[in-house]
A and B are shown apart, each in its own frame.
Chain A
């Protein structure tokens, strides 16, 4: 048995750990186009801001590959998967055979067409090398324009602000973090960020990046223009399906997988941002580029690859993030989509406090916690387990909502279980 894993982030590591739970001996080959020991992708903004040193970026310890008997091919790019011959094709045309293959190639930045993208000092913000490149050029007093006010964009804005850069964020939507916050919460976050000196241009997009060889500014579709030394394009990501485009592996928006994280082709598995898995909140296949999802899928794939039948029931969007000391946790559906949704809200904007819970048919389907995020996981678990909350709906928003507020039977059945609730 010969396992091949393409990728070196959460899904790939999850797969290694999944395989090794079952199979302690057969070889694992891990191929990644990045030359680094596995590192935590979400930490790159911390790295940029100098809050975390490079050696603390590791997602697993230095001896991880050795301990898990993984042969790594780092800095090696896979260009294709030949499912007929059961081998992957490398950039240098070498071929690596596999018995079981995992594709965990993650996502790539989505870069909308605009003029001037080719100028120097236009960056993306998802990889170590992106940060290293920014670090090369950034200086205190620089001006930066960030295109996109999503998680990546704002993390970049925070990181650059911490470096003394004057940051303007351009966002096509009407609010910051449109994917995870509603207008009210976004307003609170925006105000908080503005206090740190970040400027926002909402409801617009960049028409062109200006300058000669180097970036000098951006002009917006709303007619405004900003001077800029640095532009970061952070509009979003899309599954990195490049290597399978010529294969038989079914791809929709991402690589399509089932509950076993199998692709449409035998012995080929996929996990993480590259896939399109089941979203239990939306009850449909969706691309869910979040780390817990990637790890869980990777682990599930690993277990199945090693022969232990394992199911990942699906995930849903969930994020814990913070900017300048304002933590927020959100999950699932964060805005009522029609009259079938019930919305519970508690808001104290002046304290940056916001709590919102979305219900459908008395089941929690999403929430936003701003500032007081403690014990949010209990609500996450209510979503995941589809608990009917009709009997305790009124306490969901209570300060310190906890197990005491659950009906005794539900509480006991969860607390007495040793394992996961």
Chain B
């Protein structure tokens, strides 16, 4: 499946991915100014830039083939779409028990405690149906969206 791959060599640590992730999942869909100025309680970013200068990279759900979060979820809210491979959390049913956080080997699931507590995670912008917002707005191609990591594919 297509995934987002981070290339730390080229991550400039600007966090535009986080900013655009927030906007992409806010009620003001991709409108940065409204998201940050009008939404008093904007969503948490589902992508996380990890930084220890000079190294940085963005990390989000890897949509594991054998996703442990889907198996550990106590309510069956976390599911992997058999067609697309995308792991999504059905937030209606999520009770915020954080078992997914316990098992996610990437630490890619965030606690979103704005309303009723839910686990928030990357959905590959599946509702937009195109390139995830983080990849689209990465200024330095440090995020690649593809079947496999760019440089592995290139090495073939």
Contacts and interface: CB of A to CB of B under 8 A. Distances in A.
Contacts of B110: 374
Nearest to B55: A404
B52 interface: yes
A61 B79 CA distance: 12
A415 B74 contact: no
Contact of A404 (B51, B76, B95, B148): B51
Interface string B109-125: 11100000000000000
A287 interface: no
A378 interface: yes
A421 B55 contact: no
A380 B103 contact: yes
Contact of B72 (A291, A405, A419): A291
Contacts of B148: 418
Interface string B32-76: 000000000000000010111001110100111111100110111
Task: Give the interface residue-count category, chain B.
Answer: 35 or more
B136 to A, nearest CB: 20
Contacts of A58: 75-76
B75 A43 contact: yes
Contacts of A320: 97-99, 101-102
A326 to B, nearest CB: 12
B150 to A, nearest CB: 10
Interface residues of A, number: 51
Given A320-B99, A420-B65, A377 B71 contact: no
B105 A381 contact: yes
A415 B3 CA distance: 11
Q: Quick one: which of B55, B71, B109 has the most chain A CB within 10 A? A: B71
A420 B6 contact: no
A374 B109 CA distance: 8
B75 A374 contact: no
A321 B98 CA distance: 7
A421 B99 contact: no
B29 interface: no
Interface string A33-56: 000000011110010000110001
B74 A40 contact: yes
A220 interface: no
A322 B101 contact: no
A416 B5 contact: yes
A418 B105 CA distance: 12
Contacts of B98: 320, 322, 327, 329, 373
B101 A52 contact: no
A418 B65 CA distance: 7
B107 A377 contact: yes
B27 interface: no
Contacts of B14: none
A295 B71 contact: yes
B71 A40 contact: no
Contacts of B55: 404, 408
B76 A60 contact: yes
B52 A380 contact: no
B105 A420 contact: yes
Nearest to A401: B107
A292 interface: yes
Contacts of B68: 292, 377, 420
A417 to B, nearest CB: 7
Contacts of B100: 377
A155 to B, nearest CB: 11
Contact of B95 (A43, A376, A417): A43
A383 to B, nearest CB: 10
A292 B57 contact: no
Interface string A378-416: 101100100000000000000000111100100110111
Interface of A: 13-14, 40-43, 46, 51-52, 56, 58-61, 291-292, 295-296, 299, 318-322, 327, 329, 331, 373-378, 380-381, 384, 402-405, 408, 411-412, 414-421
Return the 10 tightest CB-CB contacts between A and B, nearest first.
Answer: A375-B107, A381-B105, A377-B104, A292-B72, A419-B65, A404-B50, A421-B105, A320-B102, A420-B64, A320-B98
